[in-house]
Amino acid sequence: MDHNNSHTHSNGKKSDSHLNIPQIKFTKLFINGQFVDSVSGKTFDTIDPRTEEVIATVAAGDKEDVDLAVKAARQAFDHGPWPRMSGAERGRIMTKLAGLIDEHMEELAALDTIDAGKSFLLGKIVDIPGAANTLRYYAGAADKFHGEVLKMAKPLHGYTLMEPIGVVGHIIPWNFPTTMFWLKVSPALAAGCTMIVKPAEQTPLSALFYAHLAKLAGIPDGVLNVVTGYGSTAGSSIANHMDIDKVSFTGSTKVGRLIMQAASASNLKQVSLELGGKSPLLIFNDADLQKATDLALLAIFYNKGEICVAGSRVLVQEGIYDEFVKKITEKAKSWLVGDPFDPKVKYGPQVDKKQMDKILKYIEHGKREGATLVTGGNRIGNVGYYIEPTIFTDVEEDSLIAQDEIFGPVLSVIKFKTIEDGIRSANNTKYGLAAGIVTNSLDIANTVSRSIRAGTIWINCYFAFDPSCPFGGYKESGFGRDSGMHAINKYLQTKSVVTPLVNTPWL
């Protein structure tokens, strides 16, 4: 089979797609309420993965810039109004900010499309409204966390206070620039913290726009600072900084280890990490094949596979394995890959050349390891970082493509016999971020969901995220939770206050 012709591809006409590109308004660092050049004057290019052309030149922050941002955040925390105003007042400003995000939805979605190759349509339907709703959730939560009165064993009155942890460094990834920005920033704002955000160097544009909107909404100067730049410079400076109280990071397990080491070697700052994944989707003999194949395609090819919880290992029970492979292969071949501004396109280009090359290398590994390539496996065209939807069957569960996080549109299909075999295979990974189960049996769903060591289990659904539902990993997928009230706890300290009781009639 000619794999180059096995998938539909739309290279979207430039004249059409470029109509959607907004003017790039913000390319400087945002420190203490102002857009400023980096101290060094250095810049870097941000590239459109559809065309491989430069979109804009952005300020490259380094240690000196991080120092200035931390100084501003420290001043705002120690002496500014944000941690001292009521939770209700913080919530009012956050709600106003959410409204501004809604007002600029088209422009923000377009920025993430040209910067990350993300679907423009899904940006408008999912990412941008989801960010505004996350802000609203935490705006509503800002006055609903509190300490408790303690029942002491001695004649003492004791109670606890929940106090903001201080200055926070958020280091966010390139695959969901908007979603990850607000998953980190929203609960930290609600808690009363001040912060420095370091967006990924591949996708800096929307983060700078959000800094502008935060200022318009009335977030005080110094509370939210954005330092664009490279992980090895700006990111490392945040992790090593002696005056940052907490680092929240989403990205690779490799970098997560470096951040923990830096936190330990510097000021023992608290760390929360949401890291890699190799999430299994278990499909049992009683599953509806139509639903199972649709979920499996969504789980791996959504956002071109650049998603930490991608269902990159589909474990199929032997009774339906052959039929499943046949159906999913047919469906994958009909997926339209091309310009992400085209609403008919299922997914666009990988984020950059480095990521594309890494994915293609893993595909070659899969071929060498003896797995069967049933569809895809190639780059599409010569311009833009497009890769065909790729499916391997007959995959050995200990092979490289079944163990490593590829972070691209590459699916490994693995056969299993019994429920116990499926559970064992699902847990045969160093990661533990998420898992999916497709079955019509409540007993199977209950047994398997309690047996898989992962932070989120989706039963007969996938990517079922919600602002109120905690999200995070087991094992080498990290620790700490985003979303839900659990996320606010990451940005709070518990203080105990005790006073003696004299002549009290009861304790």
Q: Which of 201, 274, 306, 388 is catalytic?
A: 274
Q: d(Cα 318, Cα 359) in Å, to the nearest integer?
A: 28
Tokens of 298: 């969504």
**Cβ(391)–Cβ(435) under 8 Å?**
no
Torsion of CA 318, 319, 322, 327, to 10 degrees: -120
* 3-state DSSP of 75-108: HHHHHCCCCCCCHHHHHHHHHHHHHHHHHCHHHH
- Of 388, 380, 407, nearest in space to 333 by CA: 388
Q: d(Cα 125, Cα 130) in Å, to the nearest integer?
A: 8
Phi then psi dihedrals of residue 196, to 5 deg = -125, 130
Q: d(Cα 31, Cα 37) in Å, to the nearest integer?
A: 10
**Cβ(284)–Cβ(156) under 8 Å?**
no
Helix (H), strand (E) at residue 210 = helix 205-217
Q: d(Cα 309, Cα 326) in Å, to the nearest integer?
A: 25
106 classed as catalytic: no
**Bridge partners (DSSP) listed for residue 270:** 246
Largest CA distance in the chain: 89
**Bridge partners (DSSP) listed for residue 271:** 247
Please give the radius of gyration of the chain, using alpha carbons only, rounded to the nearest integer: 24
**Cβ(14)–Cβ(51) under 8 Å?**
yes
Angle at 461 between CA 106 and CA 474, to 5 degrees: 95
* CA dist 435 → 262, 309, 408, 413 (Å): 31, 8, 17, 14
**Cβ(240)–Cβ(262) under 8 Å?**
yes
358: left (phi over 0), alpha (psi -120 to 50) or beta: alpha
Q: Which amino acid would we find at residue 389?
A: P
List, in order, residues 6 or more apart from 321 with CB less than 8 Å away.
413, 415
DSSP three-state, residue 134: helix
Active-site positions read 274
